[in-house]
């Protein structure tokens, strides 16, 4: 039950942090949050621990949890590494993916693409998450999969915001289609390139990404 309630509380706190409603340095008092959400402190503590794992919250001795400071440069550095990790996953997947994994990957893309003309942002994000997870697994490198999942957790709130950029769901789905076909056909070099391009934020996508961030991210970069 506590985990279930934590799962409900987590996206609310994530949204408040990444949009600037809860600013860096804000103390996140467990008792106050428990009263706000109408729960015990146990699911609040679990949600805060998970936010700490994603880098959005710092838990300090005797001070408790506070909203962490993060800058655009921090985010770009993480996205740069994420692009390389996922590109490596895709390259290895193109060489090692099994027939059942190919079918599962294609089905995951079909489920994503079914939402490409909608504004079902949260549902698309979850399906997108599943597709990328399948790519990690298809690399058949457990260490790489673990590292990719860990960094993805840290970037998850910001990747969730990305899909809300107008036209991004359709563009993302089209990019998925090309990279899935490259993996399934065994074209490792193309799969690597397409995946890197899919995750990397540059050019117009960088400007669009900045538009999703609250002002304190930009101030932290100064």
| 208: in domain | yes
| 221: in domain | no
Residue 174 to residue 179: CA distance in whole angstroms: 9
> Residue 50 is part of which domain span?
2-67
Q: Are 110 and 208 contained in the same domain?
A: yes
Question: Which tokens is 131 given?
Answer: 């597709």
| 222: in domain | no
pLDDT at 164: 82
Which of 67, 98, 115 is the C-terminal boundary of a domain?
Answer: 67
Instruction: Please check the confidence at residue 218 and state whether its pLDDT lies above 80.
Output: no
Range 143-149, long-range pairs (CB < 8 A, 24+ positions): 144/85, 144/88, 144/89, 144/92, 145/89, 147/85, 148/82, 148/85, 148/86, 148/89
Q: Are 20 and 81 contained in the same domain?
A: no
Who contacts 104 (Cβ-Cβ below 8 Å, separation ≥6)?
Answer: 134
Mean pLDDT throughout 124-143? 96
Q: Are 131 and 199 in contact (CB under 8 A)?
A: no
Please state which of the ranges 32-36, 101-105, 120-124 shows the lowest mean pLDDT.
120-124
User: Is this prediction's pTM over 0.85?
Assistant: no
pLDDT at 203: 64
Instruction: Please check the confidence at residue 76 and state whether its pLDDT lies above 90.
Output: no
Q: Are 140 and 162 in contact (CB under 8 A)?
A: no
| 220: in domain | no
Q: Are 52 and 162 contained in the same domain?
A: no
Instruction: Please check the confidence at residue 222 and state whether its pLDDT lies above 60.
Output: no
56: domain CATH number?
Answer: 1.10.10.10
pLDDT at 167: 87
Structural domains in the chain (count): 2
Mean pLDDT throughout 25-48? 92
Q: Are 99 and 131 contained in the same domain?
A: yes
Q: Are 182 and 114 contained in the same domain?
A: yes
Instruction: Please check the confidence at residue 48 and state whether its pLDDT lies above 90.
Output: yes
Please state which of the ranges 70-79, 104-113, 132-141, 142-151 shows the lowest mean pLDDT.
70-79
Who contacts 205 (Cβ-Cβ below 8 Å, separation ≥6)?
Answer: none
Q: Are 181 and 97 contained in the same domain?
A: yes
Q: Are 32 and 77 contained in the same domain?
A: no
Residue 209 to residue 165: CA distance in whole angstroms: 8
pLDDT band at residue 18 using 50, 70 and 90 as cut-offs: confident
30-39, 93-102, 213-222: which is most confident: 93-102
């Amino acid at each position: 039950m506590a985990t279930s309630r934590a799962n409900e509380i987590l996206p609310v706190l994530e949204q408040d942090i990444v949009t600037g409603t809860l600013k860096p340095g804000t103390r996140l008092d467990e008792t106050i949050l428990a009263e706000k959400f109408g729960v015990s402190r146990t699911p609040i503590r679990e949600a805060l621990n998970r936010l700490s794992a994603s880098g959005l919250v710092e838990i300090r001795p005797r001070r408790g949890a506070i909203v962490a400071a993060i800058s655009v440069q921090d985010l770009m550095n993480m996205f740069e590494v994420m692009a390389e990790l996922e590109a490596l996953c895709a390259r290895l997947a193109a060489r090692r993916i099994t027939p059942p994994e190919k079918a599962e990957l294609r089905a995951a893309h079909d489920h994503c693409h079914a939402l490409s003309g909608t504004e079902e942002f949260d549902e698309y994000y979850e399906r997108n998450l599943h597709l990328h997870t399948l790519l990690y697994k298809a690399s058949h490198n457990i260490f790489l999969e673990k590292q990719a999942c860990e960094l993805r957790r840290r970037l998850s709130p910001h990747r969730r915001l990305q899909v809300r950029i107008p036209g991004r769901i359709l563009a993302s789905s089209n990019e998925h289609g090309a990279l899935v076909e490259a993996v399934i056909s065994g074209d490792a070099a193309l799969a690597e390139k397409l995946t890197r391009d899919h995750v990397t934020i540059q050019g117009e996508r960088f400007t669009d990404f900045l538009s999703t961030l609250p002002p304190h991210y930009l101030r932290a970069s100064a």
